[in-house]
Each structure stands twice: as structure tokens, then as C-alpha cells.
Chains A and B, each alone.
Chain A
Amino acid sequence: MRFTIVAILGFLIGAAVFANTGHVERKLLRADPDILTSDPALLRFAIRRGRPLFMNHCAACHGVSGAGNPVTGVPNLTDGDWLYGSGRVADIEQIIEYGIRSRNSRAWSLAIMPAYARPRPNPGDQNIKPLTPGEIGDLIEFLFRQEGRTADAAAAVRGAALYGGDAGCYDCHSLDAKGDAAIGAPNLTDDITLYGDGSREALFLSIAFGRQGVCPAWIKKMSAADIRETAVYVYSISHRDEMPNAD
């Protein structure tokens, strides 16, 4: 008899936990993702469930801590600097759903970094012409100057003319070189570098041979709840000061 009672109790507790989890998950999905931080219980629930999802789907590239890898050009998700959007939960969720250059028709794929040391720097845009090694060097000096680093003054002036002229860099990175999060063009005036260590050699590689990182679209591989929970987890590791003291 005792066994029967224990089995029934176990079943009832399991059913209650299952029902409650489903209830909270529905609440999470219906909530405005951008005001989730105002509900600590919901936030904790999402973070707890989002962490293993992040480990399964994202950590292979972004690392277990989410710090990324400048060698492979995988962005750091913990530094508060966002290539696409402004780091809102909804922005992160959109990237997880549709990806970046993922071949999903809703992915972020408006721009690529042309390869200026190739005969056709951007196969999709015939207006972008190749640069000479010297011109790439001038651009690098201009970028160094914009970052406040020591640069060859004359070369930087020539680089500025190229940046705003024939090279067409301004078109994506904007005239002040501060980038454009609407198309994923990085800010070139700060000390955050996506590829390499920010040295002249690393910049030369980026300008000469181009960049076009990819993030897969998970919409067909993960449920809506999983995507929301992963997005909240990513938000939590980049906004630690806003997080409740748990987990």
C-alpha cells in the first residue's frame, strides 16, 4: 500500500512540476522579451534553461563562456559590443532564429567585407574596385589614427580620402567609421577587434582578403521556447549587472 501511495504522490508531483514548467514557459513566450528583466523569477527560469541550450548549440563556436575567439572571428558575447542590433533580447533572438549569412531568407546578410586584394573584391557589387597594397596600407594608417593609435600622418590623410572615396568603406562603416549595427558593420574606432589582434598585419588580412562570418539559423532545429531561453541566457552573460542574484 505504501508503495502505491508513494507512486501516486510521485506521479502527482511530477504532473504538477510538468504543468508548472509548461505554464512558466508559456508565460515566457508571451512576455515582451525586452522587459523580461523586470520579472526576476521568469528571468531566472529562462537563464537556468537557456544555459544548457547555449552549451549545446552555441558554445562550439562562441566558447563555453561566450567570449568568442578573435582567431576564428567569432564575436565575444560578453563584452556588451553588438555587431547586429543593440543587444536587446529581441535582437539576440532574431539572430538565433534566422542567423547571419545563414542562407535563411530572413537572415542578416546585407553586407560583406570585400576582399580588396582580389580582382573582384565583392562579386555582388561591381562598383567596388580592388586596392593596391599601398592603398591598403594608407587605410590601415587612417584606421590607426581613428583609434587614437600612433599612425603615419601623411598615409592617414591619404587613407581618409580612400575611406570616404574610391574604397567605399564609408558605405557600410559610416563616415565617422563608427560602424552600423543595422547591417553588422563593426565600429572601427574602438579597441574591439573581431578578427585578430588589431595589428597592422591583422587589418591587412581583413582588408585584403575580406571577411564574412556566418551564424547558423536555428529556427528549424530549436523550439520557440528554446530560442527565447537561449536568447535570454546570452543577454544575461552580456548584462551581468542587470541580472538577479541567482544561478
Chain B
Amino acid sequence: MPTDSQAKTGAWRDPTQVSSRRSFVLMTMGALAGVGLAGYALFTARGASTLWVPAEDVALVNQQPISRGDFLMLLQTLYGVDLSHATREQQQKVLNDMIREELFVQRGKELDLASSDPEVRSALVNAVELEISENAITAQPSEAALREFYAQHPERYVSEGIMDVRDVVQGHESGKTKGDEFYFAAKLHLGDQLFAIARELPDGGVSSPISLSDGIHVLYMVKNKRPVPFDFAKARPQVLSDYRNQAIEQLKAGDESFLRKRANVRVADDLR
């Protein structure tokens, strides 16, 4: 026959029996764990008011963090030293400068300088555009997307043609061209009309006489290396750059459209 105390111990250990003591202990542990987790989250969550500085920051100015990475970078820029070689004075100087900057930025927000100072407005517009671009650049397009873009814009991915052409006017070389030139340079030197004829000439080809205001020209093509398409491997860096630029422009347009839809813009009667 078990005693009362043995029965109580048995009930505590046996999950099939009700034990008010076990319930109380488990509830207390659960409550303590909950309080612990809540406290941890409360004092470490980003943006929460905390009494200590997070490890990734060197200071909090009105709860606004000053990043440790930026502190190290500034220390390196100003004094050319890393943290372990910086003197206490150097560290304090950099930290004070950063705190001062943060305080002034916060004051600038309080004064709403963006509504009146054109330089602040311009800097903000620029910063928002950069932010959009930055997001587009972080997204890595797939190879299939790049190949599709490459296939859609074949005209962009060709080499620059090279020509060595002589321009003869009234029996004398005009001297407008000198040896091998890229097409754009030859076009600049010859002018649009002569260049259009020159680019069609084969190696060793001679044009028919061309009558222009300064006399009759004859073109002699020594060498004409026409533009050739780059294969995808050669063009890839440029394709990636163009793809990203297009994504940036699309994102900017999308953001502007979203902002316009969200905004309450009223235009004066005379300008509607």
C-alpha cells in the first residue's frame, strides 16, 4: 500500500496521472522561458529602444545606429590605420565626428531642410534613384535571360568596323583619312555622304566619281574590315551591363508610377 508521499511522487512522474505540482512547475518554466524570449527580443530587435549598443555598431544616437564598419572605414581613410593600431585619440576623434554628423542629419530632418534647400532635394532625388538602381544590380539575371536579351538586340553587340581609305579630290589626296581608322572616325573625317559610299567598297575597290561642293572625289579602299557580331561569350559583360541598365530604367519608371498613384497630386486649374 503506497503512502501519501509515494503517491504524490508517482503522480509527478507519471504523465497519465494529474499532478498539480507538475502543472505548476511546467507552467512556471514556460512563463520564465516566455519572459526570457520576450525580453531578449525586446532589447535586441532592430529599431527597438535599447540600453546597450548592438555589436555591429559603435554608437546609438537617438537610437540611430552608427555602423562599426563605417567607423573602421573612416579610421582607415583619415589615419590609414586599422582599429588595433589606432590610438585612443584617433578613435575618439572619428567617433565624435560621426556622432556630430548624425546629430546634424537628425536636426536637418527636424528642420525639414528637404522642403527648402535645393541641394538637399537634389541629393535626396539622387539617393532614391541610386537606391532603385542598387536593388536592380543585386538581382543576378539568369544566363537564359541574358542570352534572350542578346538575341533581341544583335545590333548592339558588333565590333567597330575598320577601314583604310584614300580620298582623292581633283587628282590629289585630301588627307582627310590616315591609315586604319574605326568606322566612326572615318565617318567623322569623310562626312556622311562619302562614308556611306566608302563602307560599301571592298578591299582594293574604287568608287565612281562623287561630285561634292569642294570638287569631285574618288575613294580608293585599301582595306575594309566590316563590323562583325560578337559571339555571346565575348559580348556577355556588355550584355549584362545593358540588361541591368534596362532593368534599372524599368524599375525607376515603375517606382515613379507607383509614387504617382499613391500620391495626392492636385494641379492648379490653369495648368491642368
A interface residues with partner B (beta carbon < 8 Å)? 1, 3-4, 8, 11, 15, 25-27, 29-30, 32-35, 60-61, 71-73, 88, 90, 93-94, 97, 99, 102-105, 117-119, 130, 132-134, 195, 205, 208-209, 211-214, 216-218, 220-221, 223-225, 227
Contacts and interface: CB of A to CB of B under 8 A. Distances in A.
A134 B144 CA distance: 37
Interface in B81-112: 82-84
A103 B130 contact: yes
Chain B interface category by residue count: 35 or more
A34 B56 contact: no
Contact of A32 (B14, B83, B236, B241): B83
Contacts of B137: 99, 102-103, 214, 216-217
B55 A26 contact: yes
B179 interface: yes
A130 B185 contact: yes
A90 B15 contact: no
Contact of B160 (A71, A94, A208): A208
B55 A118 contact: no
Given A34-B83, A208-B160, 4 more contacts: A4-B26, A26-B55, A32-B84, A103-B248
Interface string B129-148: 01001110110100000000
B33 interface: yes
A142 to B, nearest CB: 18
Interface string B70-85: 0011001000001110
A1 B82 contact: no
Contacts of B237: 72-73, 195, 211, 213
B72 A209 contact: no
| Chain B interface SS verdict (over half) | helix
A27 B33 CA distance: 25
Nearest to B179: A134
30 contacts: A1-B14, A3-B15, A11-B33, A25-B55, A27-B55, A30-B55, A33-B72, A34-B82, A35-B82, A71-B236, A90-B72, A93-B69, A99-B137, A103-B248, A105-B130, A130-B182, A132-B179, A132-B180, A132-B185, A134-B179, A195-B237, A209-B238, A211-B237, A212-B241, A213-B237, A216-B138, A216-B140, A218-B138, A221-B138, A224-B56
Q: Which 5 A-B pairs have the closest CB atoms?
A: A224-B56, A103-B133, A26-B55, A29-B55, A32-B83
B12 interface: yes
B82 A90 contact: yes
B7 interface: no
A196 B180 CA distance: 25
Given A34-B83, A103-B130, A224 B181 contact: no
B130 A118 contact: no
A94 B133 CA distance: 19
A39 to B, nearest CB: 12
A84 to B, nearest CB: 13
B231 to A, nearest CB: 11
A94 B22 CA distance: 54
Interface in B211-245: 233-234, 236-238, 240-241, 244
A139 to B, nearest CB: 14
Contacts of B8: none
A133 B72 contact: no
Given A33-B72, A103-B130, A224-B56, A117 B140 contact: no
A209 B157 CA distance: 11
Given A4-B15, A133-B162, A214-B244, A104 B130 contact: yes
A43 B55 CA distance: 17
B188 interface: yes
Contacts of A90: 72-73, 76, 82
A11 to B, nearest CB: 7
Contacts of B133: 103
A90 B181 CA distance: 46
A133 B161 CA distance: 10
Interface string B34-67: 0000000000000000000001100000000001
Contacts of B15: 1, 3-4
Nearest to A88: B82
A72 B84 contact: no
A8 to B, nearest CB: 7
B238 A29 contact: no
Given A4-B15, A30-B55, A103-B137, A224 B130 contact: no
Given A105-B127, A224-B69, A217 B241 contact: no
A109 B233 CA distance: 25
